Structure 1
Amino acid sequence: MDVVTYKFLMGTSAFVIAILGVMLAATTIQPESGLEKLRKARNILVPSYFVLALLSLVCCFTGYDRCVEPASTLFVASFQALLFTMSMLVFIRPNVVRWGIVLRQAGGITVAGVILFVALFCFADYYWGLFYAGIVAYIIQLVIYTRLFMLAYRRTVREVEDYYDNDEEYRLSWIKTGFYSALVVGVMAIPVLFFTALYKYFVPLYVLYYSFMVMWFVNYYRRMKFAMPVITVVPSAAAESARKPDGEVAVADAAGKERLLKEKLQKYIDEKEYCLKDISSDRVADSFGVSLSFFRQYMKTCHGMDFRSWRKELRLREATRLFDEHAEYGIDEVCEKVGYNNCSNFNRDFKQMTGITPKCYRERVNREAR
């Protein structure tokens, strides 16, 4: 690689990453219970930003060394994989991240890095063997982290959708995108070890990812507020089994509970409460004065479907009514009024029920009204 280009890349990246580190340090994380690990992740990432900025600055002044640079890139990439994976896990499952385990892994990476650099400067005959072993270990690390993240992500999606009885994955997909972006950066580090010309692409790429990480921390609470009741809860089997809703109806027999629940469901329909957003099925059951398990069993027995499908049907029927009676309403407006958070989900569900898209339905209504 051209020396001038390399020094420019390293110097620029050092400056940008240092600025990003300052921005991350200034990020305010809501003092909400359950976010302690998110704050800790931020506090661990901030020094890593400044360390990487310092290393880039040193490289800017020393220039490219064909032996030292691959070893340092492998070492830094392994640390980045650890820190970014744990940060993305904290975003979705803060209670599964154990900082003792993270520190032990960091210690292992540090020891491996020290051994690699000692071999580079003192035992050159063993260096390349250790270097290739390090690459294999790094690839295994990426595979393990990918599996770990995807298991945690799927579990979180399942729990959030179960909590709301609604399709919510699209609201969490930015986290999966963020992880796979980090994975792309991590994988690209491997060919960079052998093809120095790739540095001109690799350096801007990881600087861009560092920028996104800061933005995710800044906007985290706004984007994830809906999922806080799920991801910040520490599960307790004993507490869950003993749990009784505050509004549990004091009715001795199941028939009486069912009769009262039927009345409250009718009121729920009449007042169009099904159009409210981000109301968990647990809260709905509490408002009816029954346990969630009883409520779900009742819906399957008496309506032949779960609450999610039942509420979705009500929302879509309301959507068709709005289109029929209000030609001036746009699709986004109707989507918002009937309680959908996402237009693509609304379009998909509407077509499944009516056989045509909201756009076609609206156009047909407007033609018939002329």
Structure 2
Amino acid sequence: MNHLLYVLLTNALAASCLIFAIIFITLPLPPNAGLKNYRISLRILFVAYVASAFIAVVDKVLVNVLSMILLSMCSFLILLFSTALINLLHPERITRKFILIHISPLVFLNLLYWIGAIKFGNPMLGSLSQVMQNLIHPQILIRIATWLMCVTQLVYFGRSFKKEATLYNSRLDECFSENMKLHLPWVRICYDGALLLGGYALVISLVNSPVALMTFFSVLAVFFIVFGVCYIQYPRTYVQIEQVFHPLTPEIGQVPKQRHSWGKLKKQVLDQKYYLAPSVSIEEMAQLLQIGRTTLSGFINKEEGVNFNAWVGSLRIEEAMRIFRENPQLSIAQVSELVGYSEPSNFSRQFKMITGVSPSEWYRQRQQSL
């Protein structure tokens, strides 16, 4: 009964993988040069999904401690999901050379193992005690090395993803006045899910548990589907965040850099209240000021000591407090809209971050002090 259920689960996984593999390779994309690496990621995911489908169909052994097939699948998926997701946050980070360097150890260990299997066989182990009893067996040593490699991959890519996510969020703050929807939370969720699945696979590879293995493949099938659905939506978001990855080229007619004066530029921003434009970006403000985005960002960072997001936020909150004082009849939602926020929740979050209290609490305290 367990074996039949296992076969059904692995076949379901294989079917879902093949369906999304076809979607990845046939997905129509806009002719945008910035999506070049995304196109490469889709091809990589095509290979990953087809390989996963193949492994799911071929590996019908329900119990085999430190299974080389399971460990190889784990390593392969850690690498492919990590690179695919990091590529969305930092397209220049993932190159063919990077992938080849990180997949080489897995290829080498597999070649070593399956060539060795011709002479030493593919030991079937039912428990860790059997692993200990055959510890000096060449095939067992290779399987242990593969398990340790998977652990190393989890740690390395976990740190790499955290670093790239921090850098991406910093870039967003340098470019957008309102960026909550651009933080790509699904990327973090998918990565955490991949990390947990990878860790779970390493744990169950050490135990004799058909139930744990079937649970793994059940969750993995769902994960493949959710990941695939999310990943193919990325081009829609890329249109909004493209400037994060591509610095603005100075426009024709801009004032020469040596003539820039932050005092004059800041006065223009304050007088014209450019910062109140809904979801204004640094690129849009730079165009209004007829300077390069890099120049404007440098002025804000150096002269104001903060990034673009924080600077615009502080100006908006100052304006909001002025409006509250002069127009106490206005609601938080109305004031939020007047100072450029698309959602009251974003306004309230920024207001509390700057003043230490919520807009309603600030207004209540002010009324009590009058």
Residue 193, structure 1, aligned to residue 205, structure 2: yes
* TM-superposed deviation, 1:206: 1.7
Q: Deviations over 1:45-86 (max 9, x none)?
A: 113212322332334xxx425349821100111111111111
Partner of 1:261: 265
Q: Check 1:329–1:219 CA distance in 2 against 1; reply closer, same or farther (3 A cut).
A: farther
Contact 1:89 1:149 in 2 (8 A): yes
Q: Which amino acid aligns with 1:85?
A: S
Partner of 1:223: 237
Amino acid of the structure 2 residue aligned with 1:217: Y
Q: Deviations over 1:196-235 (max 9, x none)?
A: 331122112222221222122221022333321122x3x8
Give 1:41's aligned amino acid. S
* Equivalence map 1:1-370=2 (5 Å): 2-59=2-59, 63-64=60-61, 66-67=63-64, 70-120=67-117, 122-124=119-121, 125-164=137-176, 171-195=183-207, 196=209, 197-231=211-245, 233=246, 246-249=252-255, 257=261, 260-261=264-265, 264-269=268-273, 273-280=275-282, 282-290=283-291, 295=296, 308-320=309-321, 321=323, 325=327, 331=333, 335=336, 338-340=339-341, 345-360=346-361
The one-letter code of the counterpart of 2:43 is N
Q: Tell me: CA distance 1:153–1:341, structure 2 relative to 1, closer, same or farther (3 Å).
A: farther
Deviations 1:11-42 (A, max 9, x none): 22222222222333343333211211110110
Question: In the aligned structure 1, how far is the partner of 2:301 from the partner of 2:63?
Answer: 67
Determine if contact 1:74/1:135 at 8 Å carries over to the other structure.
yes
Which stretch of structure 1 is more off in the superposition, 50-59 or 358-367? 358-367
SS in 2 for 1:34: helix
Output the CA distance in 1 between the equivalents of 2:176 and 2:72: 43
Contact kept in structure 1, 2:71 and 2:205, CA below 8 Å: yes
Task: Please say if residues 85 and 187 of structure 2, whose CA atoms lie closer than 8 Å, have aligned partners that are also in contact.
Answer: yes
Distance 2:298 2:82 in 1: 39
For 1:78, give the aligned amino acid.
Answer: S
1:64–1:299 CA distance, 2 compared to 1 (3 A):
closer
Return the offset for 1:299.
5.8
The answer to whether the 8 Å contact 1:347/1:358 transfers is yes
TM-score (norm 1): 0.78
When residues 341 and 46 of structure 1 are mapped into structure 2, their CA distance, relative to the original with a 3 A threshold, is farther
* TM-score normalised by structure 2 residue count: 0.78
199-208 or 317-326, larger mean C-alpha shift = 317-326
What is the CA-CA distance between 1:350 and the residue it aligns to? 1.3
Structure 1 residues 310 and 82 mapped into 2: Cα distance closer, same or farther (>3 Å)? Answer: closer
CA change 1:25–1:357 in 2 (3 A) is: same
Shift in Å at residue 364 of structure 1?
A: 8.9
Contact 2:154–2:195 at 8 Å: present in 1 too? yes
| Deviations 1:119-176 (CA, angstroms, capped at 9, x unpaired) | 3453153221221121112211222222222222222222232233666697234323
Distance in 1 separating the partners of 2:302 and 2:42: 48
Contact 1:6-1:64 at 8 Å conserved across structures: no
Amino acid at match of 1:157: N
1:94 is paired with a residue whose SS is: coil
Change (3 A) 1:334 1:75: farther
Q: CA offsets, 1:91-131, max 9 Å, x none? A: 11111211133134334322311322343453153221221
Number of residue pairs matched? 350
Give the distance between the partners of 1:78 and 1:285, measured in 2 at CA: 45
Q: Which amino acid aligns with 1:347?
A: S
- Structure 2: where are the runs of 5+ without partners? 122-136
Deviates more, 1:306-315 or 1:189-198: 306-315
Task: Give distance in 1, aligned partners of 2:309 and 2:243.
Answer: 19
Unmatched runs of 5 consecutive residues or more in structure 1:
none
Tell me the amino acid that sits aligned with residue 108 of structure 1.
P
Name the % identity: 19
Is residue 254–residue 291 contact of structure 2 (8 Å, CA) maintained in 1? Answer: yes
Alpha-carbon separation, structure 1, partners of 2:305 and 2:151: 49
